[in-house]
Every structure is written in structure tokens, then in C-alpha cells.
Amino acid sequence: MAARHDQTDDPRLQEALLQARRGTAFFARKLNELSDAELDGDSLLPGWTRRHVVAHVGYNARAVARLVEWAATGVETPMYPSTEVRNHEIDFGATLSPTALRNLFDHSAVHLNVEWRDLPGDDWHNKVKTVQGRVVPAEETVWMRTREVWVHAVDLDNGASFEDIPAPVLERLLKDITGAWTARGTDKDLVVEVTDQPATLTFGDTTAESPLVVSGPLAAVAAWSTGRAVNERYQDLEASRGDEPLTDIPSAPAWI
């Protein structure tokens, strides 16, 4: 019997699915490198242990799968009934035994992958609603998941860094973040520059007379923009106000 494969033949979507699956495999690898006892350790997210991160990523796969099911059936199936339910789910998941927590990640990832694989090509354009209330085509679920697995693999804090994340993922992540800043008006006088790509990437308030400029390699800028700590791996970031260099790198505006 022939192996089952993705129903979409859109090469752009196929590439996006590949990045999501690679991110899932990367998260799985970093998770598997942790002992059961190490799951109790702190993550890079304030107030969250590694258990919380794993539970969040596992339940996120289930939530994203519900959106894919919505696109396939036309029956509205929200990601979560409410933010409170989502938060309770994560807190509960963090109390699971190590085996159950690992199974949550594995089984939910497989379920989501099957939902993506079996979604007919035309149905990828069907509209669904995110937990933030955005109405998007089902193909957006691929990016939603891609962002989660790659970034939260770093949050496990056992060796992964933003340098491990593919450049196309980092570029789109940075566009998302700076776009959110602009929508909220929190990027006034702020310019972000990526200096290690073939062409310099510039985001932010480029019309400001005396902007605060934060610049550096793509991985370092993306890490900074997500609010992750600027540690020894990201000391090649630079900041200036007008023509004056700054000694300290300011904190990035809130992203989410």
C-alpha cells in the first residue's frame, strides 16, 4: 500500500509544513535530552518550569489540530473555550508524571501532523479563528505551530539557542513581533536592524529623527525581540541613540 502523504500540492505550503515538522523534531530532541528529574527545573520563561513548557507545547498541538478540524469539517471548534481554560490546562499538565507528559507531547504532535496531512488542498483556504480572535486561513496554523516549537525548544534551557532556528523562521518571527509593536504603538523611535544577512533588514520607526537603534545578527536580534535574556551568546548586539552608542541594551517592548 502506498504511503500516505500531504494532500496539498502547494510548494510554499509544503515548505512551511517541513519547517514545522523540523521544529517539532528539534523540540522532541531537546526534550529527550532531559532526564525526568530535569523536567522540574526552571525554563527561560518566568514562573514556568520545563514541565510547563512541555505541557503548553503539547496542548498547543491539540488546540491547533482543532482549528485544522474546523477547516476540514466546517464545524466551529475553537482552540480553547477561554484563556482561563487554557491556563488551567497548562498548570494541570505540568503536574503529570514524566511519562505522561512526554506522551502528551508525542501523541498530540502526531495527531496534528495527521490532521495537516489529510486536509484537502482547497480546505487550507478555509477560515478559522485564533485564540486572539484573528480570522485566518487554515494555512496559518502551520506558522502558528512553527513559532511555538522552535522558540519553546530554546525555552527548555538545555542547550538550544536562537542560532539553531532556521533563518526564514527567524525572519518571519521578527516581522510578526515588530508588526505587533507597530500595531500597539510601542515601537515609537525604535529601529531594529539585522546586519548579518545578504541585505540589511530594517524594521520599526525609520522616520524618527533620533531613533533608538538595536542591531546585530538575526539570531541575536530575534532572541532580544522575544524578550529572552541577552546572555553571553548575544553580546554582539549593539544599541545607539542617534549617533551615540549605548552601553546597555534596552529591553524590547512586550510582544504578547
Beta strands in 31-174 (DSSP E): 127-129, 135-137
Which CATH number fits the domain that encloses residue 101? Answer: 1.20.120.450
Same domain, 175 and 236: yes
Written as one letter, the residue type at 81 is: P
Q: Is residue 4 in some structural domain?
A: no
Q: Is residue 199 in some structural domain?
A: yes
Same domain, 61 and 134: yes
Q: Is residue 90 in some structural domain?
A: yes
- Predicted confidence (pLDDT) at residue 242 exceeds the cutoff of 80: no
Q: Quote the crossing angle between the two packed helices 11-32 and 98-118, to the nearest 10°.
A: 170
Across the range 180-187, mean pLDDT stands at 88
Across the range 249-254, mean pLDDT stands at 88
Confidence class of residue 132 from pLDDT cuts 50, 70 and 90?
confident
Q: Is residue 253 in some structural domain?
A: no
Question: Is the C-alpha dihedral spanning 136, 109, 84, 66 positive or negative?
Answer: positive
Across the range 18-28, mean pLDDT stands at 98
Same domain, 208 and 131: no
Maximal C-alpha separation, the chain: 67
Same domain, 182 and 154: no
**CA–CA distance from 143 to each of 33, 147, 169, 231, 256 (Å)?**
25, 6, 9, 27, 16
What is the tens place of the pLDDT at every residue in 53-104? Answer: 999 999 999 999 999 999 999 999 999 988 899 999 999 999 999 999 999 9
How many separate domains does the chain show?
A: 2
Written as one letter, the residue type at 186 is: T
Same domain, 28 and 117: yes
Query: CA–CA separation, 235 vs 246, rounded Å?
Result: 13
**CA–CA distance from 217 to each of 23, 35, 126, 131, 209 (Å)?**
21, 33, 37, 32, 24
**CA–CA distance from 86 to each of 52, 62, 198 (Å)?**
12, 11, 41
Residue 158's nearest CA partner among 36, 41, 7 is: 41
Same domain, 227 and 151: no
Same domain, 156 and 171: no
Same domain, 146 and 190: no
Please give the model's pTM, rounded to 2 decimal places: 0.93
Predicted local confidence at residue 105, as pLDDT: 98
Same domain, 171 and 120: no
> Which of 160, 189, 215 marks a domain boundary?
160
Residue 19's nearest CA partner among 198, 153, 192 is: 153
Same domain, 72 and 190: no
| 15 touches 6 (CB < 8 A) | no
- Predicted confidence (pLDDT) at residue 226 exceeds the cutoff of 90: yes
Same domain, 70 and 15: yes
Mean pLDDT of the chain: 92
Which residue shows C-alpha cell 488551567? Answer: 88
> Which of 160, 176, 197 marks a domain boundary?
160
Same domain, 37 and 143: yes
The range of the structural domain enclosing residue 62 comes to 11-160
> Which of 160, 186, 219 marks a domain boundary?
160
Predicted local confidence at residue 231, as pLDDT: 54
Which CATH number fits the domain that encloses residue 215? Answer: 3.30.1050.20
For residue 216, the cross-strand partners are 194
| 212 touches 190 (CB < 8 A) | yes
